Amino acid sequence: MPCLKGSNTLKIRKAKIADLKEVHKLVNEFARKGEMIPRSLNELYEKIRDFLVVEDKGKISGVCALHILWEDLAEIRSLAVRKEYQGKGIGQKLVKECMKEAKALGIKRVFALTYNTDFFSRLGFKEIDKSDLPQKIWSDCIRCPKFPECDEHAMILDLKK
């Protein structure tokens, strides 16, 4: 996996079992602030292949997952970057790596549920109605404490272009 631009120590790579306790802590730190859905350690172990991490001298500084929902649809989820690493392009790089992986798998569309529409807009995502994502609503959203009063925005990117 590549080094991040401007850094010799920041590397993006697939998550390993040894990373998951730190990933769990980072994701749930954002979840406690209401910025994302909490993830159990068990769920992270089950979905480890979905996750990319950014590592800096052995420490996880960012995380993001690409979760496949259907033959033509995947979700960017659990995007979290430690506060001291924010503003350095790490989140963008993680999402771009997920999109690259989605393309390689033949996925045609990638979406995200987010509070930060500006971030995803800069990456080419367009806002859509959540009802356009029935696979997501009936697989994950129905279990969310915010359902059906979700205040996140659904954004999608067509990878065929």
Average pLDDT, the chain: 88
What are the C-alpha distances in Å from 132 to residues 43, 96, 111, 161?
26, 23, 11, 20
CB 102 within 8 A of CB 110: yes
47-76 average pLDDT score:
95
Output phi, psi for 136, to 5 deg.
-70, -45
The candidate with the shortest Cα–Cα distance to 95, out of 44, 47, 157, is 157
19-40 average pLDDT score:
92
73-99 average pLDDT score:
96
Determine the structural domain holding residue 52 and report its residue range. 10-158
Number of domains in the chain: 1
Output phi, psi for 89, to 5 deg.
85, 5
State pTM to two decimals. 0.86
pLDDT of residue 132: 83
Domain-located, residue 92: yes
Domain-located, residue 48: yes
The answer to whether residue 43 scores a pLDDT higher than 70 is yes
57-83 average pLDDT score:
95
Domain-located, residue 2: no
Domain-located, residue 3: no
Q: Could you tell me the CATH number of the domain that includes residue 139?
A: 3.40.630.30
pLDDT by residue (tens digit) across 91-112? Answer: 999 999 999 999 999 999 999 9
pLDDT of residue 138: 46
Sheet holding 73-81, edge to edge: 10-14, 51-56, 59-70, 73-81, 109-114, 153-158, 126-128
pLDDT of residue 122: 97
Domain-located, residue 4: no
Quote the CA–CA distance of 158 and 154 in Å, as a whole number: 13
pLDDT by residue (tens digit) across 125-151? Answer: 999 988 788 655 545 544 555 555 667
Domain-located, residue 1: no
